[in-house]
Structure formats: structure tokens, C-alpha cells
Amino acid sequence: MDTSPIIRKTAADLRVAPNFADYDGERRRFSWESVGRELAGQPGGTLNIAWQAVDRHATGALRDKTAFRFRARGRPPRDVGFGELARLSSRFANVLAGLGIARGERVFVLAGRIPELYVAMLGGLRHGAVVSPLFSAFGPEPIATRVNLGAGRVLVTTDVLYERKVAKWRDKMPTLEHVLLVAEDGGGSDIPGTLDLAALMAAAGDESAVAATGAEDMSLLHFTSGTTGTPKGAVHVHGAVATHWATGRYALDLHADDIYWCTADPGWVTGTSYGIIAPLLHGVTSLIDAEEFDAERWYGLLQDEGVTVWYTAPTAIRMLMKAGAEIPRKYRFPQLRFIASVGEPLNPEAVRWGKEVLGLPIHDNWWQTETGGIMIANTPAFDIKPGSMGRPLPGIDAAIMRRHEDGTVTPVEEAGVEGELALKRGWPSMFRAYLNNEERYRKCFAGPDNEWYLTGDLAQRDADGYYWFVGRADDVIKSAGHLIGPFEVESALMEHPAVAEAGVIGKPDPVVGEVVKAFVSLKQGFAASEALRLELLGHARKRLGAAVAPKEIAFLPSLPRTRSGKIMRRLLKARELGLPEGDTSTLESGS
């Protein structure tokens, strides 16, 4: 645990009266039923995320208020109001209906942060389809794997991404019937075997009935990575909207007149839960920037768009820190009043940097794909201990678990003990399944009545109830905030004719947290060389895409394996970092 001085909240840190000021009192008073009452009013007693996020406002006072302000280099800003968003998402729902897509069927989206992506996701939810966003920096293999696991019937993407990443793999995706393309140049698209989304939207009507979904109906499918096997499809439900509403209030302190900027891409869960749903629920205006990170641009957007609440990630903050103190001196941020961050450990220096450079501390918070929403957070209601993830939000019970030899777990009462972070089930956005993998899902729960969800993270809690991240209990890699499964990378490398075996680790990196590093041994007849190393890097990048591919590859004569044949990634990592090798009793002799 860091011993950095606590950042005490001052009046200057709280430029408006916060939603959440009394931690203990609010936790005592809180109930999910009362959040449910806030969200009541949907016709017929149904619950649909798109209705809650868009229609609720589109027919009322916020009809003409900007819901999304889209920014992209070389184009004028495009503002889409709540009323227009309702019309567009309704049209998209009609497009799906016209294609014969039924409730519960899977619609995948693969695009950058363009307006059509937001419309397709909200329209898909409105229609009662299950929406699965894919990161646009994925390569063809992660895309096809996920579409197949999720039995995608529809894919919405752009002409450029389609030609680059999907077209050649189309016959490997047998469930995929309809590909709807957005032309990146703004015109039409006529690629054989696909449909032009703009034309379909133009022909569709403005009115559609919102699907009569209930709280337990499946809404979103977010893929996440584990240590072994294929990616896991975390199943989420429409009822999750209660968590999005509550956390938007408590952890992001959203107020009606905010200009909010979530920098996460909707290809990952943060960009959906907090880049789309939570701000819309609260009727705030969101800035969406299509461009990649650029320090000058980001400071400019914070200033020029008058951003008030900013939700970003440690890698981005470290990149801003690296870009130096000169750039921010050129800008002013008088509107900015609350900053939060998620996805990876936030260094204490970064929390303090926020205070120095932007005039505000950064509020780290913790959650994961499976939890659907923020669980543990630094909030306006208490002082920040830099380096800590904060405290459980109202409605969330967390614990540190001790594992016993017989496999059972019990909560650790004492402070300062390391164990697995667990959450008591019962919050509305908890994932309901790993798609088609009941056994893997069941393994996540333990304790009496299986009431504890084990997160796979190691953490400890201090005497004041603050939680501190220690590390992952498994081998998954967090690079630039994106969770990467080593198995997926190893499998792609193994497809190269020269590779006999591959082991992939996360190598600590001061900016992006971890970079993906692969160790490979070669088949007979192949010799290690710089040319082969570059060829393997290129092969992996082509298949996996820039977001997942290894940045470094090293050759080894053979990889350390357990006697049962599993590659010991832990040992590869210890050797790479010059750390003690730990327990090697299961190591196969000679590795």
C-alpha cells in the first residue's frame, strides 16, 4: 500500500454540490428498489436500456438537447439531440426488423467512434436484439472468433474495415447473414455480399415499437479474455441499467448540465456502460471524439468543448504526463470539475499530477466486464488515498477472500491482508452467464449459497475500508487498458509454420501498464533470425490486429512446461524480469 499523503477534498475540488457527500449514510439508505423506482415509467412495465437512455428524454423536455457531440478531424462537429437519436435508433430497429432479425438474435458492431455505431447499438437494444461490440483495432481472427462464439447474424461495420478484416474471413463465419456497411467517405457502399446502411436507413420509417424486454432479458454480449481457451462472452441484461444509473450518479457525479467525455472505445465495456448508457440515462451531453490519443488535441477538446466531467484511463493519463507540462500551460480548464479513471492501476503520481496540471485530483475506480458497472470507486464523498481504488459504492458489498485448502473461501475480516477480491451477488449489472459455458460461470462463485462472485483480482483492504489493487490472480494481460488473453495470442503464433510452441506474458511498461511479449521455440528446420522475428511480428499483427498482437518476440530453444504439459507463463515472466522463480516443483525436467 502506498503511503502517499491523503488528498483531502477542498471546496475547490467540488465546484457543484456533489450527488454523493455522506458515504456511510448513503450506503445505509440505499436500495436497488429505490433506483428501480427512479427508472420506472416505461410503458407496460417493461425495461429496455434504449428506452431508458433515449426515449425517456426524447419525448420530454430534453428533446432538443444534444445527447452526443461527435468530433472528428477535418469535419465540422455533429450534434445529435435526444429526439434525433430516438428517431435514428428507431430507424435502425426497423432495418433489423426488415431483415427478419428477431428478439434475442445477435447483432455485432465493429467500427470506430462514428455516429452510426452509437445508433446501431441503441437501435439494436431497442429492437430487443443482443448487441455485441467489437474493438475496431482487432484483427480478422479475434473478430471471427467472437462472431462465431456469439452466433452473430448481423454485422455493422465500415467498408474499409470490412475489406481489411472481414471479407476474406466471411466464409469462416457461417451464422453471419447480413453485413451492413457504413461508407467511410460518407457516400454509398456497393461491395458484393453486403448492404449499404445509409440506403437501408433512408428507406426505414421513423417509428418503431420498443421491444417489450424485461429486466432479465439479454441486452449486451461483451467478450473478455481468460488465461486459457477461447474468449468468454459475458452475458448482460437490460436490468443492468439500474447500476449504470446509480454509478453515473455516485461515481461520476453526473449532473443534468454536464458536458461529459468518456474516452473509452465502445469496443470495450467501459465505452458502452459509460460511453453510451450512463450519460444518456442522466440526460447529459457527451463528447465523442473519433480520433486516437493526441495530447494537444485532448487538452484542446477539454478546453474548447467545456468538458465538466471526464472519465479516462491510466494509460492516457500517463501519456499526457509524458507529453510534458508545456502543452497544458497553453490551455485553461475552468469548467472541468470531476475526473475519474478506470481499467488499470492508477499510480499515485498520476493522481497528484491531475491536481497539479488540471487542478483536480483523479478518482480511480475499479470494475470489470463481468460486473457491468463501477463497483469500487473514489468518489466526491471522501478523501483520496492516492494509489487506492477507493471504497465500495452504495449497493455493493465487497470482501477480500481467503482460500482454504479444501477450495472453500471465507471473507478476511482483518485489514491489510492480501486475498481475492469478491463481490456479493445481487447488483443488477452482474453478468448472468458466460455464453455457452455454464461450468466456467459456476466456478466464479463461492461461499454459502454461492453468494460471492470471485473477481480474479488480488487486492487488500485497509483499516478505513479502502481497497488496494495487488495484481491479477491469473495470467491475463492488461495493455493500454485492454484485457488480452495470452492463449489467443499463442494460438495465432502457433499457426505460423515455423513456430513449435509459444508462451505469452505481459511485460511491465511505464506507460501502457504491460506490453504483450511472446516467447517462441521453433520447429526443426527453422533457425532464429531477425528476419524471422519480424515475420512473426507481422504475422501476428495481421491476424490479431494492433490491439492484441505482441510487441516483442524472443526465441527460446524450448519453453518451460509443467509435467502435465502446460506452458509456465509465470516462470517466463519471472525469468524475463529477473525475479525469483518461485515454486518450480511441477516444472518438467530440462525446461
Q: Smallest distance from the beta carbon of 450 to ligand AMP, in angstroms?
A: 20
Written as one string, the DSSP assignment of 164-185 is IIIGGGGGG-TT--EEEEE-TT
Answer yes or no: are the C-beta atoms of 526 and 512 closer than 8 Å.
no
* SS3 at position 284: coil
Return the range that interacts with ligand AMP (CB under 6 A); candidates 83-91, 453-461, 528-536, 578-586.
453-461
What is the rounded distance in angstroms from the CA atom of residue 101 to the CA atom of residue 94?
10
Size of site (CB under 6 A) for ligand AMP? 19
Interacting residue with ligand AMP among 103, 403, 472, 551 (CB under 6 A)? 472
Q: Smallest distance from the beta carbon of 445 to ligand AMP, in angstroms?
A: 16
Return the range that interacts with ligand AMP (CB under 6 A); candidates 130-138, 150-158, 455-463, 489-497.
455-463
Q: Smallest distance from the beta carbon of 444 to ligand AMP, in angstroms?
A: 12
Q: Smallest distance from the beta carbon of 359 to ligand AMP, in angstroms?
A: 22
Answer yes or no: are the C-beta atoms of 401 and 420 closer than 8 Å.
yes
Q: Longest Cα pair distance anywhere in the chain, in angstroms?
A: 72
What is the rounded distance in angstroms from the CA atom of residue 4 to the CA atom of residue 406?
39
In terms of CB distance, is 259 or 262 closer to ligand AMP?
262
Q: Smallest distance from the beta carbon of 114 to ligand AMP, in angstroms?
A: 22
In terms of CB distance, is 135 or 299 closer to ligand AMP?
135
Answer yes or no: are the C-beta atoms of 549 and 140 closer than 8 Å.
no
In terms of CB distance, is 178 or 478 closer to ligand AMP?
478
**Count of residues for the chain?**
591
> Measured at the alpha carbon of residue 97, what is the angle toward residues 157 and 67, in degrees to the nearest 5?
60
Interface map 384-403 toward ligand AMP (x if CB under 6 A): -----x--------------
Q: Smallest distance from the beta carbon of 459 to ligand AMP, in angstroms?
A: 8
- For ligand AMP, the binding residues in 133-192 under the rule CB under 6 A are none
Q: Smallest distance from the beta carbon of 365 to ligand AMP, in angstroms?
A: 6
Return the range that interacts with ligand AMP (CB under 6 A); candidates 380-388, 411-419, 452-460, 526-534.
452-460
Which of these, 253, 259, 248, 286, lies nearest to 122 by C-alpha position? 286
Answer yes or no: are the C-beta atoms of 418 and 400 closer than 8 Å.
yes
Handedness of CA 448, 454, 460, 466 (dihedral sign): negative
**Contact status: 53 vs ligand AMP (CB under 6 A):** no
**Contact status: 478 vs ligand AMP (CB under 6 A):** yes
Rg of the Cα atoms in the chain: 24
Return the range that interacts with ligand AMP (CB under 6 A); candidates 207-215, 449-457, 532-540, 541-549.
449-457
In terms of CB distance, is 423 or 520 closer to ligand AMP?
423
Q: Smallest distance from the beta carbon of 363 to ligand AMP, in angstroms?
A: 10
**Contact status: 457 vs ligand AMP (CB under 6 A):** yes
Q: How many CB atoms lie within 10 A of CB 1?
A: 14
**Contact status: 469 vs ligand AMP (CB under 6 A):** yes
**Contact status: 433 vs ligand AMP (CB under 6 A):** no
* Sheet architecture: strand order including 75-81: 75-81, 66-72, 285-289, 259-262, 309-312, 338-342, 362-366, 376-377, 391-392
Interacting residue with ligand AMP among 220, 269, 396, 398 (CB under 6 A)? 269
Grid cell digits, residue 438: 455454464
**Contact status: 84 vs ligand AMP (CB under 6 A):** no
What is the rounded distance in angstroms from the CA atom of residue 21 to the CA atom of residue 436?
42
What is the rounded distance in angstroms from the CA atom of residue 382 to the CA atom of residue 384?
7
Phi, then psi, of 400 in degrees rounded to 5: -105, 130
Q: Smallest distance from the beta carbon of 472 to ligand AMP, in angstroms?
A: 5
Residue 128, exposed/middle/buried by CB under 10 A (0-12, 13-18, 19+)? Answer: buried
Q: Smallest distance from the beta carbon of 226 to ligand AMP, in angstroms?
A: 11
Which of these, 185, 55, 166, 50, lies nearest to 108 by C-alpha position? 166
Answer yes or no: are the C-beta atoms of 452 and 422 closer than 8 Å.
yes
Residue 152, exposed/middle/buried by CB under 10 A (0-12, 13-18, 19+)? Answer: buried
Return the range that interacts with ligand AMP (CB under 6 A); candidates 178-186, 290-298, 401-409, 450-458.
450-458
In terms of CB distance, is 94 or 312 closer to ligand AMP?
312
Q: Smallest distance from the beta carbon of 370 to ligand AMP, in angstroms?
A: 7
Q: Smallest distance from the beta carbon of 420 to ligand AMP, in angstroms?
A: 11
In terms of CB distance, is 121 or 389 closer to ligand AMP?
389
In terms of CB distance, is 162 or 367 closer to ligand AMP?
367
In terms of CB distance, is 123 or 390 closer to ligand AMP?
390
Q: Smallest distance from the beta carbon of 121 to ligand AMP, in angstroms?
A: 18
Interface map 331-370 toward ligand AMP (x if CB under 6 A): -----------xxxx------------------xxx-xx-
At which residue does the C-alpha cell 482483518 appear?
Answer: 414
Q: Smallest distance from the beta carbon of 153 to ligand AMP, in angstroms?
A: 25
Distances (CA, A) of 94 to 83, 105, 208, 396, 471: 17, 15, 6, 38, 46
- Beta strand 467-472 with 452-461 is antiparallel
What is the rounded distance in angstroms from the CA atom of residue 296 to the CA atom of residue 279?
25
In terms of CB distance, is 36 or 456 closer to ligand AMP?
456
Residue 125, exposed/middle/buried by CB under 10 A (0-12, 13-18, 19+)? Answer: buried
**Contact status: 483 vs ligand AMP (CB under 6 A):** yes
Q: Smallest distance from the beta carbon of 109 to ligand AMP, in angstroms?
A: 18
In terms of CB distance, is 83 or 513 closer to ligand AMP?
513
At which residue does the C-alpha cell 435508433 appear?
Answer: 89
In terms of CB distance, is 236 or 561 closer to ligand AMP?
236
Interacting residue with ligand AMP among 48, 224, 273, 286 (CB under 6 A)? 224
Scored b (16 or more CB within 10 A) or e, 527-544 reads ebeeebeeebbebbbebb
Which of these, 321, 381, 554, 367, lies nearest to 459 by C-alpha position? 367
In terms of CB distance, is 89 or 224 closer to ligand AMP?
224
Residues that bind ligand AMP in the complex, under the rule CB under 6 A: 224, 269, 342-345, 364-366, 368-369, 389, 455-457, 469, 472, 478, 483
